[in-house]
A and B are shown apart, each in its own frame.
Chain A
Amino acid sequence: MSATDKKSLADRLGLKVHSGVGNAGWGRTVFAAVISFIYFFPVFWIILTAFKTHNDALAIPPKFIFTPTLENFVAVFSRAYSAGAAAQDTGFALYFFNSVFIAGTSVLLALAIGTLAAFGFSRYPLRGNDTYLFIILTTRMLPAIVVIIPIFLMFRVAGLSGTYIGVILLYTAFNLPFTIWMMKSFFDELSPDVEDAARIDGSSDRRVFFKICLPQVKAGLAATAVFGLILTWNEFLFALLLTGVDTRTVPVAMAQTIGGDIGVRWGLLAAIETLFLIPVIVVTFMLQNHLLRGVTFGTIKR
């Protein structure tokens, strides 16, 4: 991040940002670096392994210096399933598409429905508003493993098993409580005067929502989208049971890659994971400024 970025972000947040090591002190800087390294190490190891040959990946002691190879990345998409056989398409291109499509669609759907619901809960409270909100939250209180069997049976009966619609609907429902709660807190923080002003200026309720309120909660939308995306992108259990051959997502496909005639292909797995990390990292970085604003919303006195 450049110096100017740092400044404007800090200004917007009203935070005092320490510039350089001088203010924070060496002790704290080193401490923070060590903690970050510990947390980041597994990711770093995965990325490193993705560029190793099978032998390098299994070497003991572990190799930090080696000749990098792209063979694992090629093998993600096309490889021979037994020695000597011709290379075949692994279907991973489709699985990546599935992951992007399913996660993207369900997050957008949840955002659209959830934001409207949140605005309603915030601005037009019903009798027993808090009870409704609580009920919405309870849908996320049971562990997934408890609800998966009834859901699996319902999907079978309804013919939704293995379809895009089924899993997208499920993930949307999955993301909704979180989206509603989060967006409601953003709407609650807006000044009602601004909406009153818009009404007096001649704006209809619909326009107040789209033109006045939504632009003010952009940070909230971004933060909610990223959290929802991470949740959905990494989801494994429901995907395992409810997706079919054609609608399989990457986490499920990855799990099925483990095994094979030469043992676990760590390099191949690491390559899949590295590719799998990219979209989330890209989106998070793209929305980084909004995200920081979003997660700290309400905690900073404006």
Chain B
Amino acid sequence: MSTIEATNLTKTFGSFTAVRNVDMSVGEGEVVCLLGPSGCGKTTTLRMIAGLESVTEGEVKIGGQVMNRLPPEKRDIAMVFQFYALYPSVSVGGNIEMPLFYLGLSAEERSREVARVAEILQLGEVLDRLPGQLSEGEKQRAAVARAIVRDPNCFLFDEPLSRLDVEQRHSMRGQIKEVLSGLSKATVIVTHDQMEALTMANRIAIMRDGMIEQIGTPHEVFSKPSNVFVAGFIGSPKMNLLDGRLSAVRDGMATIELGAGSMTFPVPEAASALGQSNLTIGIRPRALEPVDTPNERSLTGQVELIEPMGAETLVHVRDDDARDLRVVLPRERKVTPGEILHLACDLSQTHIFDDSGLAVR
């Protein structure tokens, strides 16, 4: 059974806690991405699952078996490293063959398997070369080939695409996704690139300071961020986060003071319970739409900077409280710097976070 379970996983280095009480489970055929800024503990978590780092507290189960004390070679896993970690003195073919060699397969079986994965990853022509003679893309494919040549219980990827250029990254993303979908194994991918996570993962675990902030499908973490950090981290351009104060909730309609202005809009019942308090409103840049006349759920500001992004245009609008609002407009909508915009927000994409940063739903 190909599953990974981490329960209450904790890792400390001296007095520094790198990973704190991480709980996650990866089902058969599921791809879970650990996403977070650098230093958030995602690689340490992965290395604990792999057995390359000892577990301070908690439990790692692979295929239902506790693995805490087993060395990596006994865990039946395959891992792709950030810098590929190909054996420099062995040819590409030899690199791919290595795991099979340790399994004790015959030379004939080994070369058959190597040929099979070389075909999948288009490495046939470079099998005789040394890793030093490969391009970045080929090294990446060789590293993936070495991981999939055996039939391991699960796959671990550490920043697999970080060294590739944009175009290669796109094509490898698709390729890895395709290869993984054909294998139906539990897979954990570590990345700091949210696009990578959103496109490749079935579920995303967003980490910060050694803790998982939220774990959910790409759709969930985008549309229902559980706190301010996740809201700001996921989505590009970044969500607008406005600090305000809830002054009153009447009949499900909340009035929120935002410095000079205020907004009134319907809020979920939970918000009524908050009473008067500070909160943060999160509005996606694509959820702001220019309207002709201001209303009770609109913000007003002056266009400051225009960044064309191709199909859309990112517009920075400075409002009366000197906040920088990011707004994404369709290409057809022309704006000029200095123009005054009234921006109405789409309530379905507007989030409220209480003063401790948690989402209010």
Residues of A within 8 A of B (CB): 191, 193-194, 196-204, 207, 212, 215-216, 218
Q: Contact at B99–A194, with CB atoms within 8 Å?
A: no
Q: Contact at B88–A202, with CB atoms within 8 Å?
A: no
| B51, B73, B86, B90, most chain A CB atoms within 10 A | B73
Contacts of A191 in B (CB 8 A): 83, 85
Q: What 7 A-B pairs are tightest by C-beta distance, nearest first?
A: A202-B102, A193-B85, A197-B85, A215-B89, A201-B99, A199-B72, A193-B81
| A196, A202, A216, most chain B CB atoms within 10 A | A202
Contacts of A196 in B (CB 8 A): 50, 52, 72, 79, 81, 85
The contact of B79 among A197, A215, A216, by CB within 8 Å, is A197
Closest beta carbon of chain B to A204's beta carbon, Å: 7
Write 11 A-B pairs (CB below 8 A) sorted by A numbering: A193-B85, A194-B85, A196-B81, A197-B86, A197-B146, A200-B52, A200-B78, A201-B78, A201-B150, A207-B102, A215-B89
Contacts of B51 in A (CB 8 A): 199-200
Q: Contact at B89–A216, with CB atoms within 8 Å?
A: yes
Closest to A302 in B: B132
Q: Contact at B82–A203, with CB atoms within 8 Å?
A: no
Closest to A190 in B: B88
Measured in the bound complex, the distance between the Cα atoms of B40 and A194 in whole Å is: 23
Q: Does B39 contact A (CB under 8 A)?
A: no
* Dominant secondary structure at the A interface: helix
Contacts of B222 in A (CB 8 A): none
Closest beta carbon of chain B to A221's beta carbon, Å: 13
Q: Does B77 contact A (CB under 8 A)?
A: yes
Measured in the bound complex, the distance between the Cα atoms of B75 and A199 in whole Å is: 10
Given known A194-B87, A212-B87, contact A200–B102 (CB-CB < 8 A): no
Measured in the bound complex, the distance between the Cα atoms of B102 and A30 in whole Å is: 57
Measured in the bound complex, the distance between the Cα atoms of B51 and A215 in whole Å is: 25
Closest to A214 in B: B89
Closest to B102 in A: A202
Q: Does B103 contact A (CB under 8 A)?
A: yes
| A194, A196, A201, A216, most chain B CB atoms within 10 A | A201
17 additional contacts (CB under 8 A) given A193-B84, A198-B98: A191-B83, A193-B83, A193-B85, A197-B79, A197-B81, A198-B87, A199-B52, A199-B73, A200-B50, A200-B79, A202-B73, A202-B99, A203-B73, A203-B102, A215-B87, A215-B89, A216-B89
B48-65, CB under 8 A of A: which get 1 and which 0? 001110000000000000
